[in-house]
Structure 1
């Protein structure tokens, strides 16, 4: 297969860089690091440099997606906040944790592909473990992050028995740099192109549990109900962001959930149960998530979690989530709140904030677990940014420009008065194209400021 390092004008994948850069994947920069502390960023016109400085080098990592870089704060630019374009989906497989060899695992992956359980990856990276990378046709907007997350969750579930990493799914994450050297074992990161055409998100979604059911909208009491497809999609989107916030909360607190640890684990397991298909999968994901979670008793001793307790909690959450989802479907993809139906529904935002004691400071770092005041602030800021994009000036800029125009007008009036002290307000207004009242107001200010003797 011919290898090309140049930016192609088509979407065929000939070389590994074509997954990161093509005619549509130019928005933002790809991050590369060797120590997870210092980052270099590469744009679509720097592919040769990307290859020359990183291939055959020890311990190199590359971001799966592209970011808008804050050049004054480069280190923090590799974050979901700065995410500019989603370019790939990557799955990490640590087959050695299951006692499998590389070849055994690759054979299993081929079987899943032949059985149409899994799409053929565009790129396979092989060193100590295996990474499957799927290129997204034309890239995707950060707004589609929830769908990319949904697809990633589903693919991980299919590959769990081979050692798929349940925690490697962040949109800002890194993977091993193709053709670099793995410092753990000194092995070259083998790079294989398996499928040479990128996938649309819809094509990848076809391998997941059905996300939507297509039915025609119907009318009721003269009003058009929302399309079932849209309702179910909105539900999964909200659920994905809820999970994202719950996991971020654990990072913010460094795992300290004193007084609410059990509640937190149940809620986390409940929302995870709405994303994947089996209770065993939920347990494996949740167990990995909560290993660092703890609570302190009155003596400040740390109370450790046990696998048996987490399994019981996951079982309870999974059964509650299953009953809720069956009710949700039966009610036309609507959440019907009835106090006596026995259905445990997802907590409303305000209740969840109370149960997990989420502070205002913590809420400001989250996406959906926020109170009304923060939501209002963000909406105001969003509208302000939209106005800036449309060319509207800020209030400070507007007032500054207004003052400049006002000073110019006063100078013109003052000039006319100096030329002809007997000129009337009506004559001045006619010359300057303003009202006589405006002239009168400015003349008072001029006289008050002793600019001219009238």
Structure 2
């Protein structure tokens, strides 16, 4: 009976969170400081939950397009969340919830849909209308805002990436034997854009060159998140294009992957876990020790990037900041990315590919605005010429003795044009 009740709790929790979802959902169990995990489609999840009852059971908050719990595999972003490790500050979870209800909910932050009492702290979950992975930079911006509001209560920055898993209702926290339980507060799903408009402060802006005396402001919405994410996706795509045969580039690829994961996740432990998994997909993976050795400096660079003092010193020397500020041309040269490969990538592209895309974009814009293509223009001119030839032939039949000047006046064209048309008529006979 107890197992049946626990199973119902877990099934309701996952259903409430993931109803109508698409993609894979990860279930995980923590064993000896590592996660054993499996990925299920939504239709399979409820039937398989009975295998995952017990201690330290987790499930993913977003879904993946393939059975792989990685940032670059995100299919749908379905929720935002903040894990408050309030126990580290000796704060009682019930006291914290009361304070948040009085001073934070619907004021500094929206009211969460779900609150997970994880056995030690509180996890706040906001359900959102599903958005694709392309919205990840905006998702991360809103996520960071929510985290910043709850930092004083132990908000954990390391538990804020899109591939995060949290404990499931009815499972047991092995650290203290407490059962996890969930409080459902409402089923309204927020929209990501509305949350950004209502809660985020005005983001950094810059001025473009003055046009007609009026400066135009351009909002830059967490472009660093966009860049790190786009480069991660490109790195994965490059490995796929090479059929995972990247011998000779493995150390460098793992180094870049770990560095960009650190920048994006702000969680060095998760970054190395993801890097080791990425390496395992190569045709000839590096030994784990070799991955750790070859990518060690990536975490050091990220640590420096997160240091105010290191950033100050770097800027004094003329750099944009601490850490690695690599140009696309440098990465392309290091990895020998060909022009053909660049055509499949989004951001790791050279000047030639960039010009090609700009040309295509301008051409498409002109077409949208109603500007004809060269082929369309030539076709229209041919039709006009045929019409003129038909009219000239009729005029010659009606006025056989007319001069070229008289024919030009009757047709409303120049004498020069009449000469060209007469020449075409002779050629067509």
Normalised to the residue count of structure 2, the TM-score between the two structures is 0.56
1:124-163 equivalences in 2 (<5 Å): 134-136=127-129, 144=135, 146-148=137-139
C-alpha distance in structure 1 between counterparts of 2:265 and 2:110, whole Å:
15
C-alpha distance in structure 1 between counterparts of 2:377 and 2:22, whole Å:
38
Partner of 1:42: none
1:201 and 2:189 equivalent?
no
* Residues 437 and 253 of structure 1, relative CA distance in 2, 3 Å threshold: same
1:153·1:276 contact (CA, 8 Å) conserved in 2? no
Partner of 1:7: none
Partner of 1:354: 333
For 2:399, which of 398, 402, 420 is the aligned residue? 420
1:251 and 2:230 equivalent?
no
1:54-203 equivalences in 2 (<5 Å): 89-90=77-78, 120-121=112-113, 134-136=127-129, 144=135, 146-148=137-139, 165=163, 194-201=186-193, 203=195
Number of residue pairs aligned between Structure 1 and Structure 2: 320
1:88·1:133 contact (CA, 8 Å) conserved in 2? no
1:280 and 2:259 equivalent?
no
Deviations 1:384-439 (A, max 9, x none): 22222222333223222211111111110111011111223333333333222212
* Residues 388 and 311 of structure 1, relative CA distance in 2, 3 Å threshold: same
1:134·1:198 contact (CA, 8 Å) conserved in 2? yes
Two-structure CA RMSD over aligned residues (Å): 5.6
Partner of 1:305: 287
Q: CA deviation at 1:265?
A: 0.9
1:87·1:135 contact (CA, 8 Å) conserved in 2? no
Partner of 1:318: 299
- Identify which range, 317-326 or 242-251, moves more after superposition: 317-326
1:16·1:123 contact (CA, 8 Å) conserved in 2? no
Larger helix proportion, structure 1 or 2? Answer: 2
Q: CA deviation at 1:233?
A: 2.8
C-alpha distance in structure 2 between counterparts of 1:201 and 1:334, whole Å:
38
* Residues 347 and 370 of structure 1, relative CA distance in 2, 3 Å threshold: same
Normalised to the residue count of structure 1, the TM-score between the two structures is 0.53
C-alpha distance in structure 1 between counterparts of 2:372 and 2:115, whole Å:
47
C-alpha distance in structure 2 between counterparts of 1:149 and 1:327, whole Å:
25
Deviations 1:158-209 (A, max 9, x none): 6977998469xxxxxxxxxxxxxxxxxxxxxxxx8943142333636999xx
C-alpha distance in structure 2 between counterparts of 1:150 and 1:366, whole Å:
24
Deviations 1:222-273 (A, max 9, x none): xx9998973x733332222112211222232343221111111111111222
Structure 2: where are the runs of 5+ without partners?
Answer: 1-14, 25-42, 49-61, 64-73, 82-93, 117-124, 148-154, 166-183
C-alpha distance in structure 1 between counterparts of 2:394 and 2:340, whole Å:
57
C-alpha distance in structure 2 between counterparts of 1:56 and 1:282, whole Å:
27
Structure 1: where are the runs of 5+ without partners?
Answer: 1-14, 21-29, 34-53, 66-85, 94-106, 125-131, 168-191, 295-301
Partner of 1:240: 229
